[in-house]
Structure 1
Amino acid sequence: MPVATAAITAEDLAQMSFGEQRVELVRGEVITMAPAGADHGEMAMTLGALIYTFVRERRLGVVYAAETGFILARNPDTVRAPDVAFVASERAAQQRGRSGFFEGPPDLAVEVVSPGDTAEDVEAKVLDYLEAGARMVWIVRPRTRTVTVYHSLRAVQVLRPGDLLDGGDVLPGFAVPVATLFGG
């Protein structure tokens, strides 16, 4: 007879050591991920730098680097770590002085798809972010040179190199040609 194991909580995860291994917590289960490749890291840094510069100049909130955990659900807990995340000033201020993972979703979650990511993995992340209350999710696909923008599951837009990626009402005034993200 199989033995039931207790679900891992966000607090348990924060106390665990995984060395260099990247992990997320999905419905109480630790999911390990391979380290990001060079192209993935460069793309995430490019987007992070663009968003950071824009947000800082306008004092809109806080931009978080990859590996920052966001608690998206409780009982069982889900902690996701987007490649880049933005949280508006008012919500970010509520986290100041707290230790541990960010309680709640980012306003904007950016995920860069790696070659090993499955469509199901990417879809699961989008669902987790949106169901937790993220206002926008960007899925960047270097292989197809596209950015899929989710405002909700019904408001989805696929952008190509000839298009402009904008921040909508989450980052008003932010705009960058999609082509520049892919070296064009």
Structure 2
Amino acid sequence: MSPAVQHNLLTADDLDKQPDDGTRYELVKGVLQKMPPAGFEHGICAAEIGSKLNVHVKTHKLGYVCGAETGFKIDQNPDTVRAPDAAFVSQSSIERQGIVRGYWEGAPDLAVEVISPNDTYAEVAEKVDEWLTAGCAMVWVINPRRETVEVYRANEDLVLLHGNDTLEGGDVVKGFQCRVQDIFA
């Protein structure tokens, strides 16, 4: 038996034209997915890492940090538009594409995903894979429950950080450093 064919796939343009009903959506392989509001703990971690990144990036004029509402079109035919909890787009990427009004075409240089209590391991792994496949240089997965950060890069081993370990931006967010425990303070 052949797999069922999905009809009526949406595009990034369709997603952009969705009426504002107060719900956050992502588009995954042409299928609209509701994103429930984040919990309080999740929001604190996302704001903490986003603000730390933003201060560093602005101080050193490295590019821009985006919040959780920012869509990145990371695949097409069918379209996928994801919105990480925080993202960094380098100045060199901005110079190539400019400041766009719609979704950013492609992946950010850094995507940050904060795990929510209802996220499954498979869902998080799928997002990490999508970001890296789309060209994201680095992905940070922050786990508030375990107070850890997983650092992913294409073709490199996973790095697991916790406590007094230092989270570094490497060659992606040059000079950025933060103690892992400070994300959860």
**TM-score normalised over the length of structure 2:** 0.93
SS of the residue 1:171 aligns to: coil
SS of the residue 1:172 aligns to: coil
Query: Offset of 1:177 from its aligned partner?
Result: 0.6
Q: How many Å separate the matches in 2 of 1:3 and 1:62? A: 40
SS of the residue 1:125 aligns to: helix
- 1:182 maps to which residue? 184
Q: Give the paired residue count.
A: 182
More deviation in 105-114 or 95-104?
95-104
Q: How many Å separate the matches in 1 of 2:5 and 2:50? A: 43
Report the AA paired with residue 148 of structure 1: E
Q: How many Å separate the matches in 2 of 1:3 and 1:139? A: 33
- 1:143 maps to which residue? 145
- 2:13 maps to which residue? 11
Query: RMSD of the alignment, in Å?
Result: 1.5
Query: Offset of 1:138 from its aligned partner?
Result: 0.1
SS of the residue 2:174 aligns to: strand
Query: Offset of 1:4 from its aligned partner?
Result: 4.9
Report the AA paired with residue 51 of structure 1: L
Matches within 5 A, 1:5-84: 5-84=7-86
Unaligned runs of 5+ in 2: none
Matches within 5 A, 1:107-118: 107-118=109-120
Report the AA paired with residue 15 of structure 2: L
CA pair 20-127 structure 1, distance change in 2 beyond 3 A:
same
Matches within 5 A, 1:105-184: 105-152=107-154, 154-183=156-185
Q: How many Å separate the matches in 2 of 1:119 and 1:9? A: 27
SS of the residue 1:173 aligns to: coil
Q: How many Å separate the matches in 1 of 2:16 and 2:146? A: 35
CA pair 165-27 structure 1, distance change in 2 beyond 3 A:
same
CA pair 127-3 structure 1, distance change in 2 beyond 3 A:
closer
**TM-score normalised over the length of structure 1:** 0.94
Query: Offset of 1:153 from its aligned partner?
Result: 5.1
Report the AA paired with residue 172 of structure 1: K
More deviation in 12-21 or 107-116?
12-21
Query: Offset of 1:89 from its aligned partner?
Result: 0.5
Q: How many Å separate the matches in 2 of 1:10 and 1:149? A: 28
Q: Deviations over 1:99-145 (max 9, x none)?
A: 21011100000010000111111011101100000000000000011
Q: How many Å separate the matches in 1 of 2:181 and 2:38? A: 22
SS of the residue 2:156 aligns to: coil
What percent of counterpart residues are identical? 44
SS of the residue 2:77 aligns to: coil
Unaligned runs of 5+ in 1: none
Q: Deviations over 1:2-28 (max 9, x none)?
A: 885221110110001251211111001
Q: Deviations over 1:72-111 (max 9, x none)?
A: 0010111000010000112123443532101110000001
